[in-house]
Structure 1
Amino acid sequence: MGRGRQKAKHTKVARELKYFSPDTNYSALERELASASERASAEDPWAEYASKYNSDDEDED
């Protein structure tokens, strides 16, 4: 395929992506964002090990 045809197809796809506005499912978006915030607020499973093995002492070298 020549560069002209390739560029024309790419331009067509880019134009469709730019100007096409799909219907947004706000309830699905709300569920997804709510589940993401629940995961973010969960306790860090490695916090116990971090506090046990990480020391603030720089003199140990």
Structure 2
Amino acid sequence: MGRGRAKAKQTKVARELKYYSPDTDLSALERELHGASQTGAGRSAADDREEDEDDYGSWSPGRR
């Protein structure tokens, strides 16, 4: 019980997302797309290593 109110809210949100069309700033989108390749080149290898590392080894019990 109580699912009706939650479903109604989900339906309302879905309808708003479906039919709402905000004004798109195409010049800002163009700047972002052209700037993405330039900012990506400025990353260092240390930044990439930090993203690749995971903490699994620190909390796992080891091999079985």
TM-score normalised by structure 1 residue count: 0.59
Decide which structure has greater helix share: 2
* Residues in 1 aligned to 2:3 and 2:43: alpha-carbon distance in whole angstroms: 52
Q: Larger Rg: 1 or 2?
A: 1
Q: RMSD over aligned Cα, in angstroms?
A: 1.7
Query: Normalising by structure 2, what TM-score?
Result: 0.57
Percent of matched pairs sharing the same residue: 68
Gaps of 5+ in 1: 47-61
Structure 2 unaligned runs (5+)?
Answer: 46-64
- Aligned pairs, how many? 44
